[in-house]
């Protein structure tokens, strides 16, 4: 027997048949051929090892719970209904319910996000509409056509006071600021309200911004205060200086215009 014939014959046998081979031709060839003898010895070792594993796991079988579950499914199938989910699939409906809750939660979150974004958008539009006049550099008083602008004149007599529509004292910061320059010359400062159309024409021209104010303070209401300062010199040409001040309700002067 050649090695090729040995391999051909060995391939036709199972591992168990080969490990217990009693074929004389095979045994004779194994004794003569060292390579084929080693190969057969290896096959016998593998067979013995697998046999040990086979013996070790021979008594293993599925648990009784599997049989019960299968019989339940069999009865339901025989009754014509779909079988219930098996033991290992119990988690699937729970996962489905959880995913359903997550889906609803996602819809609620999206709706809330839309509402909040709309609210913020409206607020932003309102805010930007307030801040536009400040950014243009024009005095805030000119941007409100319906706003009644008080005009303050330095009074030397009480007659003019009687003609004013609305009178009130200028707030203390303004007064303190004007007094800081020359408090003695400013006899009195009265706020007088005039119509919006009257002030609209001259409000835009000639004002000089005094400060860079932040949008919050500039967006608040303001008033125009006319200050009249007595003539400085003793000469006849000297005239009292008249200026319009745009004063915010926080008392800060935002712009000034020299009238004469």
Rule CB under 8 A: which residues touch another protein? 11, 14-16, 42-63, 66-67, 69-71, 73-75, 77-78, 83, 86-88
**Residue bearing tokens 């006849």:** 236
Of 67 and 156, the one with the shorter C-beta distance to another protein is 67
Strands (E), the chain: 149-153, 167-169, 190-194, 208-209, 222-229, 241-248, 253-258
| Cα–Cα dist 192/169, whole Å | 10
Of 26 and 152, the one with the shorter C-beta distance to another protein is 26
Q: What is the biggest distance separating any 2 CA atoms in the chain, rounded to whole angstroms? A: 153
List C-alpha distances in Å: 243 to 84, 143, 178, 183, 204. 93, 20, 12, 16, 14
Residue 64 CB, shortest distance to another protein, in Å, is 11
| Cα–Cα dist 45/176, whole Å | 112
Residue 67 CB, shortest distance to another protein, in Å, is 6
Residue 100 CB, shortest distance to another protein, in Å, is 24
Of 43 and 167, the one with the shorter C-beta distance to another protein is 43
Residue 1 CB, shortest distance to another protein, in Å, is 18
Of 65 and 157, the one with the shorter C-beta distance to another protein is 65
């Amino acid at each position: 027997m050649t090695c090729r014939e040995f391999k051909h014959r060995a391939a036709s046998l199972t591992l168990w048949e080969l490990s217990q081979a009693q074929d004389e031709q095979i045994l004779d060839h194994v004794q003569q051929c060292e390579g084929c003898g080693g190969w057969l010895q290896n096959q016998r070792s593998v067979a013995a090892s697998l046999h040990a594993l086979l013996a070790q796991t021979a008594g293993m079988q599925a648990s009784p719970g599997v049989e019960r579950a299968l019989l339940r499914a069999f009865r339901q199938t025989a009754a014509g209904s779909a079988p219930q989910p098996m033991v290992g699939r119990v988690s699937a409906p729970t996962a489905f319910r959880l995913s359903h809750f997550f889906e609803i939660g996602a819809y609620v979150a999206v709706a809330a996000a839309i509402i909040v974004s709309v609210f913020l958008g409206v607020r932003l539009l309102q805010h930007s509409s307030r801040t536009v006049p400040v950014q243009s550099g024009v005095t805030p008083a000119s941007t409100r056509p319906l706003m009644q602008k008080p005009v303050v004149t330095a009074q030397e007599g009480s007659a003019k006071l009687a003609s004013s529509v609305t009178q009130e004292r200028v707030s203390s910061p303004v007064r303190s600021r004007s007094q800081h320059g020359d408090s003695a010359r400013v006899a009195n400062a009265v706020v007088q309200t005039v119509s919006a159309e009257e002030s609209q024409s001259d409000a835009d021209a000639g004002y000089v911004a005094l400060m860079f104010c932040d949008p919050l303070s500039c967006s608040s209401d303001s008033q125009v205060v006319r200050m009249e300062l007595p003539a400085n010199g003793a000469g006849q040409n000297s005239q009292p200086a008249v200026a319009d001040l745009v004063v915010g309700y926080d008392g800060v002067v935002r712009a000034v215009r020299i009238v004469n």
